A and B are shown apart, each in its own frame.
Chain A
Amino acid sequence: MTRALIPATLVTLFVVAFQLEVFSSLRFAGVVIMLVWLWPLAMGLAGFTSLALVVALVGGILFDTHAVTPFGLTAVVGLILAYATSRLAREGIGDLDSAAMWVTPLIGAVGGFAAPLLYTFGGFFALNFALWRGSLFESVVVNAIAFSILARPMTRLAKAVASFGERARR
């Protein structure tokens, strides 16, 4: 995990930069696709729990410093997604090589569906009661679709990044 930490953190920084520079403007139905949530989800699905938690925390915190929404909430949602998907990966569900083709996209879709809801729910704990009044429905739908499409390639990337760290050690 330690060796893979550096490439994973570097990729996380690129993911945050990509999120801020490209995906903030590139909206679908007015909705931003949250790569900063998809990345830890994919890392978790790839079976690297600790790494997934680290990239969720780093990516979430860096993203939160650029938004005016409750600080830390993106990171918390990322952590929950990372932990949940890594538990699934531990059970062998969603494994790219052995599971059915549709399983990873389905988990991605569920993650994309749940993440904005978790975020809105978390907003109540951060004393922000207005998050649900925004484009919640559109966010849920667009992110579910986008996550289902991007889940497989992102999980492949996560595997490659983690195994790159392992190869470097050998």
Chain B
Amino acid sequence: MASERSRRRALTLGLGATALIVVLYLTGGVFSGLRSAANVVVSPFSWSVNEVAKPIGHFLAGAIDYSDVVAQNQRLRYELGKAQQQSNESWSFERQLQQVSTQLHVPFVGSLPTVAAQVTAISPTNFAATVDISVGRDNGVLAGMPVVANGGLVGDVISTTPHGATVRLISDTNSSIGVTYGSGKLTLLVSGRGVNNGLGATAIPLTTSISPGTIMATDGLEGGLYPPGLPVAKVSKVTLTPGAATYNLVLRPTANLRFLSYLDVVLWEPST
């Protein structure tokens, strides 16, 4: 009986402690300190796991100088991604030149400063699509800044530390981006559909003509979260329900979110 009581007490205490921490987190400020403390606690164990796991992984890969090849491959992929990004951006720049040639101060990524960063960790959970990067506040990176790589928009910075930052990927279920295409007259809202599922847009009026292969780029509306012209996604599927007045889109990010090693943080803030 007594042990039953103590178990119940332990469960109640556990749930109570969790609830308290959630409240502290919601009221702000505590999370950053808690995360640092947790990192200090876990890092020696992470280091030991890494020390054991890495050689085994390399051994299994069975290649001499495997790490160098991987690093070289990542660098090449980064360079290829930049080339793809420039190609994808060109149509957007042309449109802007034609339509808003008088608006000389409209920013787009080609003229904006960027900071190169390396991906240090990917989201450890199935329920969030994020990556940690190697640059932070000390490099001028602030929350809200867009991040590009591998051919287009990757996401935006959601939190920073002096030497690191967390980037929410565009495929995250909490991510929504205003995009435009073609002549730029129409804007849509595309949302993340999870780590493995790319992006989607719903309730597109039938009067709007969008075909597979169409590239969507950030709309850059005033007060928006992204500068205009950043390639976001390519339409991969149009789904139409018979009798419906609208249709849905399935989009594939122009950036390859599965192989993110290096990326660029665009030093652009929504307020600027």
Residues of A within 8 A of B (CB): 13-14, 16-25, 29-32, 34, 49-50, 53-54, 56-57, 60-63, 65-72, 74-76, 79, 83, 86, 116, 119-120, 123, 126, 128, 130-131, 133-135, 138-139
Interface check B7, CB cutoff 8 A: yes
Task: Determine if A76 and B53 form an interchain contact, defined as CB atoms under 8 angstroms apart.
Answer: no
* Residue from B10, B45, B130 in contact with A49 in the complex, judged by beta carbons closer than 8 Å: B10
Count of CB-CB pairs between chains A and B under 8 Å: 146
A142 to B, closest residue via Cβ: B126
A143 to B, closest residue via Cβ: B126
B123 neighbours in A (Cβ, 8 Å): 24, 67-68
Looking at the assembled complex, report how far the CB atom of B131 sits from the nearest CB atom of chain A, in whole angstroms.
10
A23 neighbours in B (Cβ, 8 Å): 124
Task: Determine if B127 and A123 form an interchain contact, defined as CB atoms under 8 angstroms apart.
Answer: yes
Report Cα–Cα, A72/B49, bound state, in Å.
24
Report Cα–Cα, A18/B49, bound state, in Å.
6
Task: Determine if A68 and B168 form an interchain contact, defined as CB atoms under 8 angstroms apart.
Answer: yes
Residues of B within 8 A of A (CB): 6-7, 10-11, 14-15, 17-19, 21-22, 25, 31, 34-35, 37-39, 41-42, 45-46, 48-50, 53, 121-130, 158-159, 166, 168, 173-174, 192-197
Are A72 and B25 CB-contacts (below 8 A) given A50-B6, A57-B18, A134-B197? yes
Are A66 and B6 CB-contacts (below 8 A) given A13-B45, A16-B42, A17-B49? no
Most interface-central of B7, B21, B124 (chain A CB within 10 A):
B124
Q: A54-B14, A72-B21 are in contact. List 13 more A-B contacts (CB 8 A).
A: A17-B46, A21-B49, A24-B121, A49-B7, A57-B18, A65-B34, A65-B38, A67-B124, A68-B130, A71-B25, A71-B31, A79-B15, A135-B194
Task: Determine if B21 and A71 form an interchain contact, defined as CB atoms under 8 angstroms apart.
Answer: yes
Looking at the assembled complex, report how far the CB atom of B71 sits from the nearest CB atom of chain A, in whole angstroms.
16
Task: Determine if A76 and B195 form an interchain contact, defined as CB atoms under 8 angstroms apart.
Answer: no
Are A130 and B174 CB-contacts (below 8 A) given A14-B45, A30-B195? yes
The contact sample of 24 A-B pairs, CB cut-off 8 A, is A14-B49, A17-B49, A21-B53, A24-B124, A30-B195, A49-B7, A50-B10, A53-B11, A61-B21, A62-B41, A66-B35, A67-B125, A68-B159, A72-B18, A79-B15, A79-B18, A119-B127, A128-B174, A131-B127, A133-B173, A134-B127, A134-B194, A135-B196, A138-B196
Task: Determine if A65 and B39 form an interchain contact, defined as CB atoms under 8 angstroms apart.
Answer: yes
Most interface-central of B11, B17, B125 (chain A CB within 10 A):
B125
A32 neighbours in B (Cβ, 8 Å): 124-126
Report Cα–Cα, A100/B136, bound state, in Å.
54
B7 neighbours in A (Cβ, 8 Å): 49-50, 53, 86
Task: Determine if A17 and B124 form an interchain contact, defined as CB atoms under 8 angstroms apart.
Answer: no
* Residue from B37, B126, B158, B166 in contact with A135 in the complex, judged by beta carbons closer than 8 Å: B126
Report Cα–Cα, A116/B125, bound state, in Å.
10
Looking at the assembled complex, report how far the CB atom of A37 sits from the nearest CB atom of chain B, in whole angstroms.
11
Task: Determine if B127 and A126 form an interchain contact, defined as CB atoms under 8 angstroms apart.
Answer: no
Task: Determine if B42 and A79 form an interchain contact, defined as CB atoms under 8 angstroms apart.
Answer: no
Task: Determine if B197 and A66 form an interchain contact, defined as CB atoms under 8 angstroms apart.
Answer: no
Looking at the assembled complex, report how far the CB atom of A96 sits from the nearest CB atom of chain B, in whole angstroms.
21
